[in-house]
Amino acid sequence: MTPPVFRFAPSPNGYLHLGHAYSALLNFQRAQESGGRFLLRIEDIDPTRCRPDYEQAIYEDLAWLGIAWAQPVRRQSEHLTEYGAALARLQATGLVYPSFESRAEIARLVAQRDGGGGWPRDPDGAPLYPGQAKMLSEAQRAELMAGGAPYALRLDMAAAVARVGRLSWEEAGSGPGGETGAVEARPAAWGDVILARKETPTSYHLSVVVDDALQGVTEVVRGRDLFHATSVHRLLQALLGLPVPAYRHHQLIRDGQGHKLSKSTLATGLRTLRAEGVSPAEIRHRIGLV
């Protein structure tokens, strides 16, 4: 049997906090216990939010925690052509279309249609895309694109789901509703998701499934906040013919008041704690890992 491959995949858009420490240490420990490999992947496709100093801080904070990772580190910003190739394969299936509305326009369209306030929202709480741009003709799309209009490439969710049928994944942890074991994917809950934008030829969903497959990741261990995103990942794996890793969604570490941790809260930031003299062993203790 080939050894399992684990990964920790932070975005360098802020400093790591106790929740990241939990996820990284859990992945690292499981890799060590199983004789597997532990990879670090830098998810830096958004140049407006990612910064080199945050990336440097990730390396420092993880090393301080006693974590060692395989080299070279995969930095997503260096692999846009690979995501572009996967996108082209999806486009060739006829399931991808461009939409041209801004966020504000989408909000207006939804408000117009949302008589009783029952407009469907995705698991993150954003209103589903109303599907306006699906009606545009090829000529209209070509004209808008040639005119330099910004656009997002979306997956026609209903058609994609009809194409692949029912999908599931093996969940070793649990979802927010206690889902575990063979979990049925429900990608339709996300509507016509964005796969790429004019200025960025990929998205979180697309790059994650491409990378997990390319890097031979067999175990995805990550926070429960990404449980519902797995439905989209499972769908993209099916459309692209990629292998399906096992998933373990873990509990989220909360602050003293029970709130989810945020990169903007300094109190639970690993840098702050380190500067206060907290040791890596104390960090492990605080998050329930010994």
Contact residues toward ligand GLU (CB under 6 A) are 9-11, 43, 208, 222, 226
Query: Considering the complex, what minimum distance in angstroms separates the CB of residue 230 from ligand GLU?
Result: 9
Is the CB of 56 or the CB of 132 nearer to ligand GLU? 56
CB of 8 to ligand GLU, least distance (A): 7
Rounded CA separation 121/128 (Å): 5
Q: Which is nearer to ligand GLU, 99 or 203 (CB)?
A: 203
Which residues contact residue 40 at a Cβ distance below 8 angstroms, ignoring those fewer than 6 apart?
7, 8, 9, 58, 62, 69, 70, 73
Residue 11 or 218 having the CB closest to ligand GLU? 11
Q: Where are the alpha helices (DSSP H) in the chain?
A: 18-33, 52-65, 80-92, 103-113, 138-146, 157-164, 204-214, 229-240, 270-275, 280-286
Output the smallest distance, CB 185 to ligand GLU, in A.
15
DSSP per-residue letters across 193-253? -EEEESSSS--HHHHHHHHHHHTT--EEEEEGGGTTHHHHHHHHHHHHT----EEEEEPPP
Closer Cβ to ligand GLU, 43 or 192, answer by number: 43
Q: How far apart are CB 20 and ligand GLU at their closest, in Å?
A: 8
Q: Nearest approach, Cβ of 284 to ligand GLU (angstroms)?
A: 21
What is the C-alpha to C-alpha distance for residues 43 and 145, in angstroms, rounded to an integer?
28
Half-sphere exposure of 179 (CA within 13 A, CB side): 20
Alpha-carbon distances of 240 from 75, 76, 89, 91, 235, rounded to whole Å: 22, 19, 7, 11, 9
Nearer to ligand GLU, 160 or 210 (CB): 210
Residue 222 one-letter amino acid: R
Q: Tell me whether residue 43 or residue 55 sits nearer to ligand GLU (CB atom).
A: 43
Q: Which is nearer to ligand GLU, 226 or 246 (CB)?
A: 226
Count other Cβ atoms within 10 Å, centred on residue 146: 8
Say if CB 191 and CB 160 are below 8 A apart: no
* Closest distance to ligand GLU from the beta carbon of 49 (Å): 11
Rg (CA), the chain: 20
Minimum CB separation of residue 211 from ligand GLU in Å reads 9
